């Protein structure tokens, strides 16, 4: 009688980055995947070489928890801290950088860091826009034009209807369709809402889609074929975008997975966790 073969277990991580001394909140591959930026709960930012797997730059970017880092054009890096500050840094040449060299701080934006909502950005030919929690109320959000150093819209998210209670804004995603700007926002109530941004920003759609906590990070691979999710159990789950079926469970981290990123060619997946470590996975 033939025995049914068990599915092959996913391989272990290709590499583990160990330099952070606190929870690693954010990871971001950049410059054609030559470098990795990461940030942690003590406010430190590290730039790694993906060739040598060693730190190239390390500096304390914030007095408090650094929630997110990402790089943008002109070799600049944006960092967001729970010290109520979003900083824009000018990175030096990374080919001959010194580990303790501190990048030049170009500008800063004050925002409301009471919650855990991470900024989102949209980079067009005309300008670069940032979306982040309003300094006046964590249930609302602002849009700031980084190119022209001015607010495009403030205190977005107010609803006149008393029947809709959104709560604090937990996540935002800024995007465009043709000439229209939108923000997709997630709230502590479990509601997801779509806002159209114009002179009188309006609520286009909303629906309560979550009833239980558990998912902290999601990331879609650049080819839009698979996506990864990370949650409280530390595991990274891979799903098919087309069928939404689970494809693999990557088990290494012992605590919550906070950050995820794919390489441009989709062959690497980076995960970061509350266990102070960053995992590198080779995927299909």
Residue 209's pLDDT is what?
60
Is-contact 24 278, C-beta < 8 A? yes
265, burial (CB in 10 Å: exposed 0-12, middle 13-18, buried 19+): exposed
User: Which positions ≥6 away from 59 have C-beta within 8 Å?
Assistant: 44, 45, 100, 101, 102, 103
Q: How far is Cα 194 from Cα 168, in angstroms, rounded to an integer?
A: 15
- pLDDT reading at 190 higher than 80: no
Residue 7's pLDDT is what?
54
Residue 19's pLDDT is what?
97
Residue 80's pLDDT is what?
98
The least confident of 11-15, 90-94, 206-210 is: 206-210
Is-contact 152 131, C-beta < 8 A? no
Residue 192: pLDDT band (50, 70, 90) is: confident
Residue 251's pLDDT is what?
94
Residue 193's pLDDT is what?
85
- pLDDT reading at 189 higher than 90: no
What are the tens digits of pLDDT across the range 169-178?
Answer: 888 889 888 7
């Amino acid at each position: 009688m033939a025995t049914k073969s068990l599915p092959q277990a996913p391989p272990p991580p290709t590499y583990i980055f160990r330099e952070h001394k606190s929870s690693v909140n954010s990871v971001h591959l950049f410059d054609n995947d030559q470098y990795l930026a990461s940030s942690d709960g003590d406010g430190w930012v590290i730039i790694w070489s993906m060739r040598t797997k060693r730190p190239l730059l390390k500096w304390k970017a914030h007095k408090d928890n650094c929630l997110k880092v990402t790089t943008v054009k002109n070799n600049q890096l944006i960092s967001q801290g729970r010290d109520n500050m979003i900083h824009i840094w000018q990175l030096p040449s990374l080919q001959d950088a010194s580990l303790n060299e501190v990048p030049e701080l170009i500008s800063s934006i004050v925002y409301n860091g009471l919650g855990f909502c991470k900024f989102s950005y949209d980079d067009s030919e005309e300008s670069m826009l940032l979306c982040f929690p309003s300094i006046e109320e964590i249930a609302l959000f602002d849009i700031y034009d980084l190119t022209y150093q001015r607010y495009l819209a403030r205190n977005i998210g107010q609803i006149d209807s008393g029947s809709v209670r959104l709560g604090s804004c937990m996540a935002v995603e800024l995007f465009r369709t043709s000439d229209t700007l939108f923000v997709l926002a997630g709230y502590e109530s479990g509601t997801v809402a779509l806002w159209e941004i114009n002179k009188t920003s309006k609520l286009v759609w909303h629906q309560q889609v979550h009833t239980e906590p558990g998912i902290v990070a999601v990331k879609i691979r650049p080819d839009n074929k698979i996506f990864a999710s990370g949650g409280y159990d530390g595991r990274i789950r891979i799903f098919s975008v087309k069928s939404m079926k689970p494809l693999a469970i990557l088990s290494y981290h012992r605590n919550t997975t906070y950050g995820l990123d794919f390489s441009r060619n989709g062959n690497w997946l980076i995960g970061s966790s509350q266990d102070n470590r960053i995992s590198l996975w080779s995927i299909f």
